[in-house]
Structure 1
């Protein structure tokens, strides 16, 4: 079994033939892969330019974060047969991409998942610049039920699109609701007179929004800060008004980077903490991952 530590796209089942980095490549044409559901036999056929190419076939899998290649067989012809491919494995395959080489260096094919691999054809439909005459940041965006978008981040501005910052030369959480064309429907500032950042936002089942980040404030919209910087979770209604807010943490630094609504109507928050008191019941060392379930 060969072992390689480079990154690849991983799928539930792959067949890959690994080319030598010194090889000269020739394109393969008319590649076909036919699976017999009765026997589990996979027949792969192709045409290629060049002569004397040896195709070495490997199965590829991921174990504990490491990519492994397991040798299956090889051929110098225009086809290869693999036996005992299950229906589940076959359903995960499509679009085989192939390269060939001259001589006896390695080359071959890859069987990928049932999602067509195409050249990028995306084009910009629209783009919007949001903010004022100072630093403005977006860290999270989600499409909303009305086809628009909700954006969350932070701003140091207090002009342009930005009106209502709580502090002077400090950041507020900034939440912006856009329509489907990127036009601002409403925008809200959340925080106090110190720095407040939003790193994650999600639309909730009631049509409102849940926001998570951190706060250094203990005034304005913020109550209950435990120390230097707390995780800050804010529930908004559908037009951005605060329904409730909660500071989480201890007397040191606590940050939330992701939040999701859970199936029981509560919320799960993930971030990090340096605290060992307050809401933090166990301390390991340095910055610890901190996961909090709210209900």
Structure 2
């Protein structure tokens, strides 16, 4: 104990000393706007047919663009909605789009990039058997369908797939919910879309899994919400091995302390997405004292690989803020969501922010598209440019368009074709005199070759829907500003990193009021990959030639 206490004293002492030495530097940082959000590189809407939404994004596998998925109304036919995949270039301009349909309503909720293509996953409904099924489709880099698959926990049940991750064996894990027992639901697929084992996990009434990520110790990490042993909805996490069994003795549940003397905890706590961090996982979601009040706060938390909280934060600029997506470099965590004046989406805006390794919020800002909008997912480029995707509309109840905003990263200009020089006719030589006029100096003939006037290269014109701020280069503080304080803080940071990641003590202080507790151990699944699994699919993997509807359209402005 003495050794641990001394190490903690060392870390805390170095941190306090460094903070004191940096007091002047902090004032300079604030004055130079170092905590401002990075410059906005683009802000674009994408017109789908009817009511459209973009739910997820990944970097393109074949260039420096991005691929988005969601749903929109079809161009024609009897379907209500179709899954929508579209690609944009490095400036956010639409390159191409495809749609996929399994039944009358098909929605893509998530997307993963493979070595040479993508797999999107979501829900499909409206078939003859009723209910709602899980849905996945594998496509190549051009969006051509390779296989399509639908699956369900039970016939006619209301099942949902909210997230997908690719496993090290090139298969996939889909996570969501089945209404059959109000449980979290996990469905395995092989690399060609073949249906494998499925498992359910109980987190109490209303159990739902919203996020999934690979675990460094094997298996996968699941995040969502459940009621556990209380009536409050709580953030829910669990680690599952490759056989579907829970690794921890019980699920972990988290809820936020409230400011009320009569009710010490918030009644609403949910994790909507998860991303791998350097030494654990970062979760995003929402928390509220009373979910019926129309007020919520965004919620961010990091846990280590065993589910122990490391830090947490609440944030929001309006009465109603939810965080729906996260993208992480491992040590920098970018969160996105929606902020509005109330739960009906009045004056809703997109919201984004960034946290560092130890949970300090570096910046956060709202973003506006049309009158009402919000972000559902995020992706990062190689230069930490954050691409936020969602929907935007003229009002909260109006039909929406797909929407994306890129924040930070390198500026990329939209290329403008250089006008070709106008051809200039060759001049006709003037006849030369046979002999000079007496008394007149002899002159050279007047047949001079005219040089074409150089046509200046046209300056690219900014399109109205693209916004780039003036501050393209983020200025850091000079080293002289820090002086000895910089050295002391660096020493403290080194001590902290040693204590946290080398020493390995997972002391989960609850300084922010986040309360954790184990839930009932579910011990694994209700159904374990029976041989009849194939009979529960709507069909085996469908070839690209016979896959569902596909369309290609131009970017309409």
TM-score (norm 2): 0.27
Structure (1 or 2) with the greater helix fraction: 2
Structure with higher Rg: it is: 2
Whichever structure has more strand as a proportion of its residues is 1
TM-score for the superposition, normalised by structure 1: 0.50
Structure with the bigger RCO (C-alpha within 8 Å, sep 6+) is 2
